[in-house]
Amino acid sequence: MKSTNLTTKAIFLSVTVLLAAGSSFAGDIKGKVSVQGLKSAANIAVYVDTIPDKKFDAPSQHVVVDQKKMEFIPRVVVVLQGTTVDFTNSDPVGHNVYWPSISGNKKLTHNLGTWPKGEKKSFQFNDPGVASLLCNVHPEMSGYIIVATTPYFAITDKDGNYEIKNVPAGKYTLKAWSEDGKPVTQAVEVSASGATADLTVKK
């Protein structure tokens, strides 16, 4: 009886240690996105695709997309599925925000209406995919919201560099989305020291 208890405790302790060790096996995925046929490697979204049997709670903090000088700022943003985005208006003209579809699904179209400077409208993005942000009266305005199913994502800088932090060790599928280029998919294995994944986006 005494030995059984000890064994149970040892197993329990081992599992606990292993779990704790597993959670500390998280690294950063870094890399550089190169482009072929595109003007710039900036503003390309890089994110970890859906992890089977893994769900993530949406953050309570909202993401802000502003409209200023007739531009969406930031132009490209990635959010976790379920995140609420606040659309603010910093221009002295009325703006509106709508998207005709999410990843081509026109049933998911939505129009937030019109609001003046200083006000905001919010929307919770529960459907994964890409929403092209448009303004009905200023058709040159363009923005994008990529709704990801994992919280592991980043946007490239002007040189195409990106860094996704604290990705648990494991094997994943990395995806890259750009406004004018074709989607890219690449497998990546993250260890305790992280991983490096360079991608090439083509027109």
Residues forming contacts to other proteins in the complex (CB under 8 A) are: 69-70, 92-96, 98, 111, 113-116, 135-140
Q: Record the tokens describing residue 55, joined without a space.
A: 């769900």
| Shortest distance, position 172 Cβ to other proteins, whole Å | 37
| Shortest distance, position 97 Cβ to other proteins, whole Å | 9
| Shortest distance, position 168 Cβ to other proteins, whole Å | 43
| Shortest distance, position 126 Cβ to other proteins, whole Å | 22
By beta-carbon proximity to other proteins, the closer residue of 21 and 70 is 70
| Shortest distance, position 194 Cβ to other proteins, whole Å | 41
Question: How far is residue 150 from each of residues 1, 10, 22, 81, measured CA to CA in Å?
Answer: 46, 34, 18, 8
- Strands (DSSP E) found in 81-169: 83-89, 95-99, 110-115, 120-125, 129-133, 143-148, 153-155, 161-168
CB neighbour list of residue 6: distance below 8 Å, 6 or more residues apart = none
| Shortest distance, position 112 Cβ to other proteins, whole Å | 9
Q: Report d(CA 15, CA 133) in Å as an integer.
A: 47
Q: First-to-last CA distance in the chain?
A: 69
Q: Record the tokens describing residue 139, joined without a space.
A: 């058709």
Q: Which of 90, 52, 99 is nearest to 71 (CA)?
A: 90
By beta-carbon proximity to other proteins, the closer residue of 114 and 161 is 114
Q: Report d(CA 67, CA 52) in Å as an integer.
A: 36
Helix (H) or strand (E) holding 2: helix 2-24
By beta-carbon proximity to other proteins, the closer residue of 142 and 186 is 142
By beta-carbon proximity to other proteins, the closer residue of 57 and 140 is 140
By beta-carbon proximity to other proteins, the closer residue of 59 and 116 is 116
By beta-carbon proximity to other proteins, the closer residue of 96 and 178 is 96
